[in-house]
A and B are shown apart, each in its own frame.
Chain A
Amino acid sequence: MTAIHPHGPTRVPLRPLARILHARATGENPDRIEADNIAQRREQMRDTLRRKSARRLTLVAALSVAGFLLIGQRMWAIANEPLAEPTGPATVVAASGRADILDRNGTVLAMNMPTQSLFADPLAMTDPEGAADDLVRIFPDLDRDALLRLFASDSHFEWVRPHLSAEQRQAVHDTGQTGLGFGTREMRFYPNGPVAAHLLGGTRVDLKSADAAEIFGTAGVELEFHNWLSDPANAGRPLVTTLDLRLQAIVEEVLEGGVALTGSIGAAAVLMHAPTGEVLALASLPDYDPNDRPVPVRDPKLAGTDPTFNRAVQGVYELGSTFKIFTVAQALDLNLVEPDTMINTRGPMTVAGARISDFHDYGPALTVSNVIVKSSNVGTARIAGLIGPERQKAFLESLGLLSQSPLEMPEARTARPSAPSWGPVESATISYGHGISTTPLHLAAAYAAIANGGHRVTPTLIAGQRHEPGPQVLRPEVAAAATEMLRQVVDHGTARNAGVPGYNIGGKTGTAEKPGVGGYDEDANIATFASIFPTEAPEYVLVVSMDEGSLFVNGATERTAGWVAAPVAGEILRRIAPLLGLRPSIAGADASGVDRP
């Protein structure tokens, strides 16, 4: 029997001659040998084919097993995936394009709102005249001729209106005019109108297409935090400011009343939480509606009438006698004087050729307390003489009065306090607030340092920060003594008009003549009142500054801060005290009001 060769069978002849001969010799049928060989050959072929198909089947089986394993593994993986919000194009949930701005209580100051824009496709219009008529009927402020010119243009896309209300959209839709289309997009909305306008600033819309518009901050917090507000990573997370809308509204309302009563051309107010430097209210008049921010006036001469000018933060003014308390506080801190030390107030006084005199003659001498209470320039200048220019400058610097304010507003960086070269004359005038210009915000931060026991204050607008007390610039007992002097000013000094029954308020008035043509203008004053309250546990600082105000009282026109700014501040304090959780203390009454046996 022929062995089956593993590598291709050797070709065996069907009728091998030797076997045929042998078969013939033995009388066997040689055909059987042939049949045998044919059968053998078939068997060989079958074996080969079987092995081949066996290999193929194994391969197919392996491939299918691998495929099923792959699918099974993937299914197992999907089944065990942690449940998560499906992502991808199917789940683009309308994320507000720009974060909201809230006040400290969560009230909305600025938010994004969906709106509709109206555009025209002039080439698709069948009845441009009819469409123009219909649109003018719906929007009376549109100009029919301008619309017709727009509709005559050879284009497929022209803006008609950047935002429509839902009712207006329906009205346009109901006209049935062809070639008018709507786009959905977002707009910035300031629900409170002009309240806190300067702080918020404003936005500008850059229309990209029918469905997309980019909103840019142009001023205030909107500009300062533009990148944060427009970062999609912050969508849904509002920017919480330290402002309190209720206090802001009251401050603005009263300030507006004060401006009307005194005929001021402008006014500013800052309300600050003294321990933290958080700004609770920041107002500037005249104001504007941030929903429709006017274009700032570029002419510096007209800056005073520009509604977008933020007087509280940008307005660099001589704030007058409000500075006297810094001179006295420093002298107390350096142990140069005590509150009852007598100071020579005989005027006029001459410093290096310059004459310094008082508003009234206060006699030969006053105690340090009374220098503040009566607001004696001569007395303060004498105290400044004890301190010396270098130490005075360093102290005002340490209060933050000589550098730009760190408040988070672009406007704050544009205002730099100005002080001239610091000689003996300047030292004397700066001691009572002349020859140095700062903003009301700077003054508020400096008064906050007195109110909080002598720690330097960094004003801020952003809530939720940790506040470490700043470096000590005054000893706590000196700060308390200065606060007590300020209380006496309101009690029986120049700021009696700021008094509110039941509350202990400390403050200092300051009246400075505005620089006019060739020197100071006598009839144009900046009247400022800076206050600390409640004096028994100082917590808040309020600065009110009125520009060119006057009041006709008792037959005379009064322009001093005691008449122009102090009453406004007093009214603000009267209104905000209960909201700040301050209760009036009634002299002589048992605070609890409970009858005790």
Chain B
Amino acid sequence: MRLIFYPGAVALVVGLAYWAYDESLQTRDARAEVRQLNRDIRGLKSSLVLQRAEWAYLNRPERLRDLADLNFGVLGLMPMTGDDLGRVAEVPFPAPPDLDGSEGEAEGPGLPVARADPLRLDGVRDTAAPQDPISDEDW
């Protein structure tokens, strides 16, 4: 009995000591890693802040206005006014597909014709009011 118990106990103590030592080493490594990660997080956060600041600075109204003015020849951007809001009738929808080959011919070739096509505008609302597909609220 003693022959088993004492060596066993010694082995157990040695094993536990090894385990404890290993744990402490791992803890130390983990702490070093956490420190490094925190350093990285700090660095990344600070560059994130810098990039946010840069983005905000590049998008400041004054610069955007100047850019629009400088590139007026290419872009032709003007300040937005109510006139720029279009009406549904101004959207050139393609002519409906010619299914039976009789109706499509009547319109003939030419500019796209605006038409009320409920499915293309707002499917959800139009199913509720198929008789009056587009109202002011659709805008």
Contact = CB atoms under 8 A, between A and B. Distances in A.
Interface in B39-78: 41-42, 45-46, 49-50, 52-53, 56-57, 59-62, 65
A91 B89 contact: no
Interface residues of B, number: 39
Contact of B134 (A94, A113, A575, A592): A592
Give the interface SS of chain B, mostly helix, strand, loop or mixed.
helix
B116 interface: yes
A193 B62 contact: yes
B114 interface: yes
Interface of A: 86, 90-94, 96, 107-108, 111-114, 189, 191-193, 195, 245-246, 249-250, 253, 500-503, 574-575, 577-579, 582-584, 591-596
Given A113-B50, A591-B136, A93 B57 contact: no
Contacts of A501: 82
A500 B85 CA distance: 15
B95 interface: no
A191 B53 contact: yes
Contact of A91 (B38, B52, B60, B90): B38
Given A111-B53, A592-B89, A595-B114, 11 more contacts: A91-B38, A96-B49, A107-B59, A111-B49, A114-B46, A191-B53, A192-B61, A578-B82, A584-B85, A592-B88, A594-B114
Nearest to B65: A253
Contacts of B59: 107, 191
B53 A592 contact: no
B82 A111 contact: no
B38 A195 contact: no
B35 A90 contact: yes
B85 A189 contact: no
A191 B60 contact: yes
Interface of B: 31, 34-35, 38, 41-42, 45-46, 49-50, 52-53, 56-57, 59-62, 65, 79-85, 87-90, 114-116, 133-136, 138-139
A213 to B, nearest CB: 15
Contact of A107 (B53, B56, B65, B115): B56
Contacts of B114: 594-595
A577 B90 contact: no
A594 B81 contact: no
A158 B106 CA distance: 88
28 contacts: A90-B31, A90-B35, A92-B38, A93-B41, A107-B59, A108-B52, A108-B56, A111-B49, A111-B52, A111-B56, A112-B49, A114-B46, A189-B53, A193-B62, A195-B60, A253-B61, A500-B82, A502-B83, A574-B82, A575-B81, A578-B84, A582-B82, A583-B82, A591-B136, A592-B134, A593-B89, A594-B89, A594-B114
Nearest to A500: B82
A583 B139 contact: yes
A375 B58 CA distance: 47
B89 to A, nearest CB: 4
Listed from nearest, the 5 A-B pairs whose CB atoms lie closest are A593-B87, A249-B61, A593-B89, A191-B56, A584-B82
B40 to A, nearest CB: 10
A593 B81 contact: no
A347 B37 CA distance: 82
B56 to A, nearest CB: 4
Contact of B89 (A112, A113, A503, A595): A595
